[in-house]
Structures are given as C-alpha cells and as structure tokens.
C-alpha cells in the first residue's frame, strides 16, 4: 500500500512536492483552490506546467484532486445546485490540467428532499458534468458518516447513484475508514472488516474501489458523527488498521491520511504508525 496525506497548496502548487516529501508521502491528495469558497482564479499556465513537471519527476502516484466543500449536488431545489455542477465541471477539467488521475467528491446533503430524490439529483448532476467534460479523470464518490442529512453513508445508496449515471466507467469510490465506522461498518476487527468488504463487493463491486482514506474515528461505531482521529488512537484502533492495510483485497490500493494536524510533526507520527503495521508479504 502506498501512503500519503492531503497536502496544502498554500503559497502555490510549487510547494506541494516538497511538503509531500517532508511527510514521507508516496501518493498525495490536494485542492486546486480555496476549499471553503466559491470564488477561484484561472490556473496559471506556467505554474501548472512546473507542477506537472515536478510531479512527473517525483515518485508520487497516483495523484488525487479533492473538490471544495461547498458544492452540494444532492439537493435539486437548492439555488446552489447549478453552481455546484459548475464547480464539478471546473475541477474535472482542473484534475486533467494538473495531471491528477482522480477527482474526489463529497456526495452531499439531501436537505428537505427524500433519499431517493437526493440520489437522483446526484446522478443527474454527475451526468451533466460528464457531458461538459469528456476526459479520462475518474470521479470518486467519498462515503459519508451520515451526519445530519448526508447521503452516501450506506453502500446501497452509493450503488444507486452509480446505477443512475450513464457513463459509469468514469465512476469510482473513495472509502473513508472513519466515515465507514461512524456509519455503522465495524472496521475495528478482522471479522467486521470481512463483513464490510463483502457488503461493499456485493453492493458496489471492489473493482470500483480506488482509494482508502485512512482515518481513525474519535466517535464510536454508528455514531453518525464525522470526527477524524490519529491512527490507532481512536475507536478503530491499531488492530483494525493492521487488518486493513494488510488485507489481500486492499493492500494494492493507495491510502491517504486526513488525520488532525497543527504541523508536520503529527503527520510524521501517523506515517510512522501506519507503516509500522505493514507485514512483509
């Protein structure tokens, strides 16, 4: 398993590779713009070329771009629905421009709509974005903890969204371990992990799983509260992560950590812990 972190683009894309190396990354995830706002500036062509060159000369792969937090394509009647689709269009194109093979999207909140209506809204939104951007970037839906009116916290919901998309070859899943646990999938022990993977395979198909977000959970199993924590220090624990990173169906996947941080020191600690769990094949 190749490990990495979400890397900040503060100060420009030129700092990404350096920050990744400082954390011992083999794979990375990043935003292309401010994740908490709608406004953005066009990418600087020279900066993009330099970034792509630095990535190509590094040993970092695969590369994951993450959508900003504000877009919500799960509520059709929102005044932000079309704006959210436009945001997806922008990042699908930016992913290709920046050399990222994958784009990660938060599935969204249904708000006042029903679960079925929300699922249909997500599928429609993705269809509209795919119509406008026809490239090879794979869109990864990230499962949710089920907090508030979030959808996508069950594998069956994600399955229905994918089934509603016309160009399903461009669809994949990013499985967040904290979100899964908080949604009720027990990843703290071997038996729970086997049941979860069997459920995932029967519902969605493991062939659609392209990335693990390796995060421990600060809240208990089934809490429906999204709280990431340091590897081995939460309710999933070291035993759970040891089974996850060594599982024959998962160990070929990249694993990105989104654990809490104030500085590089927390990332180095989490990287050391996760690597210590790897068993020789």
Residues 6+ apart with CB under 8 A from 216: 177, 178, 228, 229, 230, 231, 232, 233, 234, 235, 236, 237, 241, 259
Among candidate residues 19, 208, 210, 228, the one labeled active-site is: 228
Mean pLDDT confidence for 68-75? 96
Prediction pTM value: 0.97
Instruction: Specify whether 258 is catalytic.
Output: yes
Report pLDDT digits (tens) over 172-181: 999 999 999 9
Among candidate residues 23, 66, 170, 210, the one labeled active-site is: 66
Instruction: Specify whether 228 is catalytic.
Output: yes
Is pLDDT of 210 > 90? yes
Q: What is the CA radius of gyration of the chain?
A: 18
Instruction: Specify whether 213 is catalytic.
Output: yes
Report pLDDT digits (tens) over 184-201: 999 999 999 999 999 999
Among candidate residues 23, 213, 235, 261, the one labeled active-site is: 213
Among candidate residues 19, 23, 33, 106, the one labeled active-site is: 106
Q: What is each CA distance from 266 to 35, 159, 270, 271, in whole angstroms?
A: 22, 35, 6, 9
Alpha-carbon distance of 89 to 103, in angstroms, equals: 11
Mean pLDDT of the chain: 97
Is pLDDT of 254 > 90? yes
Report pLDDT digits (tens) over 12-24: 999 999 999 999 9
Among candidate residues 33, 94, 109, 179, the one labeled active-site is: 179
Alpha-carbon distance of 228 to 176, in angstroms, equals: 10
Among candidate residues 91, 150, 176, 182, the one labeled active-site is: 176
Mean pLDDT confidence for 243-251? 98
Is pLDDT of 147 > 70? yes
Q: What is each CA distance from 59 to 4, 62, 63, in whole angstroms?
A: 12, 9, 11
Q: Domain 2-264 is of which CATH architecture?
A: Alpha-Beta Barrel (3.20)
Among candidate residues 18, 21, 69, 191, the one labeled active-site is: 69
Instruction: Specify whether 194 is catalytic.
Output: no
Residue 180 confidence (pLDDT) = 98
Instruction: Specify whether 69 is catalytic.
Output: yes
Instruction: Specify whether 66 is catalytic.
Output: yes
Instruction: Specify whether 279 is catalytic.
Output: no
Instruction: Specify whether 247 is catalytic.
Output: no
- List the domain boundaries for the chain: 2-264
Q: How confident is the model at residue 239 (pLDDT cuts 50, 70, 90)?
A: very high
Among candidate residues 142, 150, 182, 267, the one labeled active-site is: 142
Mean pLDDT confidence for 63-85? 97
- Is the separation of the CB atoms in 173 and 143 below 8 Å? yes
Is pLDDT of 208 > 70? yes
Among candidate residues 91, 182, 216, 226, the one labeled active-site is: 226
C-alpha closest to that of 135 among 172, 167, 87? 167
Mean pLDDT confidence for 86-102? 98
Residue 281 confidence (pLDDT) = 62
Q: How confident is the model at residue 39 (pLDDT cuts 50, 70, 90)?
A: confident
Residue 280 confidence (pLDDT) = 80
């Amino acid at each position: 398993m190749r490990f990495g972190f979400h890397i900040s683009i503060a100060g420009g894309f030129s700092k990404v590779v350096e920050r990744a190396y400082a954390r011992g990354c083999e794979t990375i995830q990043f935003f292309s713009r401010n994740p908490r706002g709608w406004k953005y500036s066009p990418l600087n062509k020279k900066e993009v070329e330099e970034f792509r060159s630095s990535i190509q000369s590094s040993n970092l792969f695969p590369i994951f771009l993450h959508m900003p937090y504000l877009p919500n394509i799960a509520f059709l009647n929102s005044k932000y629905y079309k704006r959210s689709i436009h945001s997806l269009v922008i990042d699908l194109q930016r992913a290709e421009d920046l050399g990222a093979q994958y784009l990660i999207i938060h599935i969204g909140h249904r708000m006042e709509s029903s679960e079925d209506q929300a699922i249909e809204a997500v599928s429609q939104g993705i269809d509209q974005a795919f119509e406008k951007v026809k490239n090879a970037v794979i869109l990864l839906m990230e499962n949710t903890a089920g907090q508030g009116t979030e959808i996508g916290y069950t594998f069956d919901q994600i399955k229905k969204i994918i089934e509603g998309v016309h160009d399903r070859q461009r669809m994949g899943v990013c499985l967040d371990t904290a979100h899964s646990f908080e949604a009720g999938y027990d990843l703290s022990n071997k038996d729970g992990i086997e049941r979860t993977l069997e459920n995932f395979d029967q519902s969605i198909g493991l062939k659609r799983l392209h990335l693990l977000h390796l995060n421990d959970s600060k809240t208990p199993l089934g809490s429906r509260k999204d709280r990431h924590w340091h590897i081995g220090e939460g309710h999933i624990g070291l035993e759970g992560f040891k089974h996850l990173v060594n599982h024959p169906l998962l160990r070929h996947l990249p694993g990105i950590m989104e654990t809490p941080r104030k500085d590089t020191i927390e990332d180095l600690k989490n990287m050391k812990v996760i690597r210590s769990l790897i068993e020789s094949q």
